[in-house]
Structure 1
Amino acid sequence: MHGMLAWDDLRYFLAVDRHGTHAAAGRALRVAPTTIGRRLAALEAAVGVRLLRRTPEGLVPTEAGLRLRTHAERVEAEVLASERELTGADQRVAGPVRITSGDGLAAYVLVPRLVELRERHPDLVVELRAELRVLDLSRREADVSLRMSRPREPALLARRLCDVPFRVYGSAAYLARRGRPSAVRELGRHDWVRPDATLAGTPQEAWLDKHVPQAHTVLRASNSTTLLAACAAGHGLAVLPELFAPHDSRLESLLPRATGLPVRELWAVTHPDLRHNARVGAVLAWLAAVFPRPR
């Protein structure tokens, strides 16, 4: 080994190991791919061995890389634990706070109401990450995560915010063109806008598979915002959350008494090390005001 290992270099190595490419690692760490490549080259020069090799599936660790990964993950755990402990003791409602949620929730509910939070705490800097994957709170990928199901990780702190009923929606233009269904049995005659594989297996998709097994799908979308936009543009019917579908005035709710439409739960989740953090506390108090109490 020719020099001291720097934590930043280990962080870049772990990001490439987890994401497979310089570009994906750069997106995760919010740095340029060229920076990732440069720091990895410096790390390999420091240890004197090759740590990653290129394959058709992306960059994977060599034998030396696998050994380094074990040590790097231990260093990461200690660094992140220290950050959480120090951040958790911070009593200032100032500086950055990371919130993550699905794209539809972020666009139609959180962003319009963020004005209230910022007016109350003008020194708070909100980092809002709208993505489908569940972020790792132990790695500080987010401080507060909004999830549409109760978290499975028993160590996390979770607060149920509200119920999220789903309804069948269609645009006024589509209904004028194709007619308004009056019963579930008529839904098979209509075009449908549905999620792609990224949202397969969700309760709303399970309901549609059960009650409209021959649904004529005309468009699939990878996120809720695009799904809602496609339905509102008149491409077809869609099963959407009542929480944010009404924000587009072109959409009309159909079949309010339809059997078994899912009702999901919205949860606010944070790491226990942040339970006394003033920024996280301010966000949780704001969220409690944004969403109605569970029935």
Structure 2
Amino acid sequence: MNTVDNGKEISKIGNKLIDVLVWDDIRAFLAVARVGTLSGAARQMGLGLATVSRRIERLEAAVGQPLFLRQQSGYRLTDDGTALVERAEEMEAAALSLSSGLPQEATVSGTVRLATAENLATGLILPELARLRAEYPELTLEIVTDIATVNLHRRDADIALRMVKPERGNVTLQRLGTLGYGLYGAPGYVVARSEAMDASAFDADDFIGWSDTYASLPAAQWIERMLKGRTPAITTTSLATQITACATGLGLAVLPHFLARPHDLTCLDPDIGIDQSIWLVTQSDLAQSRRVRVVADFLRDLVKQHGAALSG
């Protein structure tokens, strides 16, 4: 059987996995699924290509299903492989939880350098940081928001929470959730535009855009498509200024839901097709460091706790 039927085969394969589970094979499966290549997974795990390949083949034999399509460009998950990712990640989380529950030194101390986007730092992490400090007062978190210049491969940071999946480096990846975006406007602006124009068209709307430095952002590219050659009402270089400009009625802006909604902005379209995955990225050789694990667990809990607000 090569396809999943209404989730029934997921359970069947998952139960079979429990009976024949080899944890090293699951780790190899997740590494290839996340990186997309055998060579990248081998580098991430510090193993040889043949070893990783053998573990994938052993897991496929155990479940009786091909989990990847082997292509020149890399390894792509089959439907059965996709169905197993969530179960495998649950196993990974359980293993991490088990290892973190083993007897450890009493004190967690030192500095962990976290690279993340400014919107996640100010809107998600900082408001909750006091409880991490209360539990681990000797732990120092250094937050770097200029992630355009931060490279974990160069050891510029120990751990990262970001929306762009790294394609290289000796790092461990875990997808934690989704950052949802929508099109927002000030209530007064939205009322005025609905009276003056077709509410479903944007040809006469003012837009708040991004400066050329940020032209690669999905939000910037979406706005550029809507403008169709027109000039934006204003361009900025940060989400904070985007929100303020939008709230003052200067035009429409593409904003993350969890940042826009506390400002009483009106959402014209909650799903514009540019939602981004939130990735936890850790230096592989620091993954077992207790202070790094403490920060990683804190970030996982944050994204899980605020998952609905983040995705919108």
- TM-score, structure 1 normalization: 0.61
2:288 paired residue among 272, 276, 279: 276
CA deviation vs aligned residue, 1:224-248 (integer Å, no higher than 9, x gap): 222222222322110111232223x
Does the CA-based 8 Å contact 1:188-1:215 persist in structure 2?
A: no
1:197 paired with 2:212, answer yes
1:264, 1:202 → 2: CA distance? Answer: 11
- 2:266 maps to 252
Aligned partner letter, 2:150: L
Does the CA-based 8 Å contact 2:162-2:278 persist in structure 1?
A: yes
Please state whether the residue corresponding to 1:133 is helix, strand or coil.
helix
Aligned partner letter, 1:152: E
2:148, 2:299 → 1: CA distance? Answer: 21
Please state whether the residue corresponding to 1:168 is helix, strand or coil.
strand
In the TM superposition, 1:1-295 aligns within 5 A as 92-179=107-194, 183-185=199-201, 187-247=202-262, 249-256=263-270, 260-292=272-304
Does the CA-based 8 Å contact 2:153-2:171 persist in structure 1?
A: no
Please state whether the residue corresponding to 1:243 is helix, strand or coil.
helix
1:93, 1:245 → 2: CA distance? Answer: 36
Does the CA-based 8 Å contact 2:115-2:147 persist in structure 1?
A: no
CA deviation vs aligned residue, 1:160-201 (integer Å, no higher than 9, x gap): 11111210011224334544776442x221111111122212
Q: Give the unaligned 5+ runs of structure 1.
A: 1-89
How far 1:264 sits from its partner (Å)? 0.8
Aligned partner letter, 2:302: V
- 1:10 maps to none
1:117, 1:250 → 2: CA distance? Answer: 29
How far 1:216 sits from its partner (Å)? 4.5
How far 1:255 sits from its partner (Å)? 2.4
Does the CA-based 8 Å contact 1:182-1:255 persist in structure 2?
A: no
How far 1:140 sits from its partner (Å)? 3.3
How far 1:148 sits from its partner (Å)? 0.9
Does the CA-based 8 Å contact 2:115-2:160 persist in structure 1?
A: yes
1:139, 1:132 → 2: CA distance? Answer: 13
Aligned partner letter, 2:265: L
Q: Give the unaligned 5+ runs of structure 2.
A: 1-103
1:114, 1:193 → 2: CA distance? Answer: 31
Please state whether the residue corresponding to 2:234 is helix, strand or coil.
strand
How far 1:215 sits from its partner (Å)? 4.8
Please state whether the residue corresponding to 1:189 is helix, strand or coil.
coil
- TM-score, structure 2 normalization: 0.58
CA deviation vs aligned residue, 1:230-281 (integer Å, no higher than 9, x gap): 222322110111232223x232211236xx4211111111211101111110
Q: Of Structure 1 and Structure 2, which has the larger fraction of its residues in helix?
A: 2
Mark the CA change 1:250 to 1:172 in structure 2 (over 3 Å): closer, same or farther.
Answer: same
Aligned partner letter, 2:133: R
How far 1:286 sits from its partner (Å)? 0.8
Does the CA-based 8 Å contact 2:152-2:169 persist in structure 1?
A: no
1:196, 1:122 → 2: CA distance? Answer: 40
1:275, 1:132 → 2: CA distance? Answer: 20
